[in-house]
Amino acid sequence: MFYAPGERDRTRLPHDPFKALVAPRPIGWISTRGLDGSVNLAPYSFFNAVCDSPPMVLFSSTGRKDTLTYALERGEFTWNLATRALAEAMNETCAPLPRGVSEFERAGLALAEGVAVETPRVAASPASLECVVVGHERLRDRHGRDLDQWTVTGEVVGVHLDEGLLTPDGRFDTRAAAPLMRAGYRDEYLVADTPLAMLRPEL
């Protein structure tokens, strides 16, 4: 089967498989604080690490939502690891609340103040990355038309880790943390709990 995006046979593919193909994806559970002090917390389906020296992450926002607005206002944001244990709370933060209404409160989540940034983090998350915005861009299609889609790149300036998830040899135990991942369609998630070790080939 081949099709051009936007021209798929909707009788055979009523649901766009794009997000199911580029999967699983880590969840960008992003907390921000506006200049007025308002705090926001929201999960983003398009998020990933893009550099390791220095460490950087990127998330993509459809529309100028509170997360994008606050991140650009203050020039910072915090990523929080969404886990199986926090899945229901994370899902509550998807709700389209009015600006200024706290997703932390709606989801029953305690916040912890940042150390290197003024943005709070999810206290219950076993890992958080405090980030300073180093770039943002409005995306365009191949014809040069502006899209209502924005990317924000942040350099990691602080790392919070649950020391109980460190192995004796000093590795973060991803399997034990059980990260939650996006698996395709709106209601589908996966949990990272199956390890596979492979050494890089040497010549």
| pLDDT tens-digit readout, 56-93 | 999 999 999 999 999 999 999 999 999 999 999 999 99
pLDDT of amino acid 193:
84
Which of 186, 152, 28, 37 lies closest to 102, judged by CA?
37
pLDDT of amino acid 186:
82
| pLDDT tens-digit readout, 105-152 | 999 999 999 999 999 999 999 999 999 999 999 999 999 999 999 999
Return d(Cα 170, Cα 165) in angstroms, integer. 9
Q: Tell me the two tokens of residue 164.
A: 């109980």
| pLDDT tens-digit readout, 13-39 | 999 999 999 989 999 999 999 999 999
For 26, phi then psi, to 5°, come to -65, 150
* 121-124: long-range contacts, CB 8 A cutoff, minimum separation 24: 121/31, 121/78, 121/80, 121/160, 122/29, 122/31, 122/41, 122/80, 122/86, 124/85, 124/86, 124/89
Q: Is the pTM of this model over 0.85?
A: yes
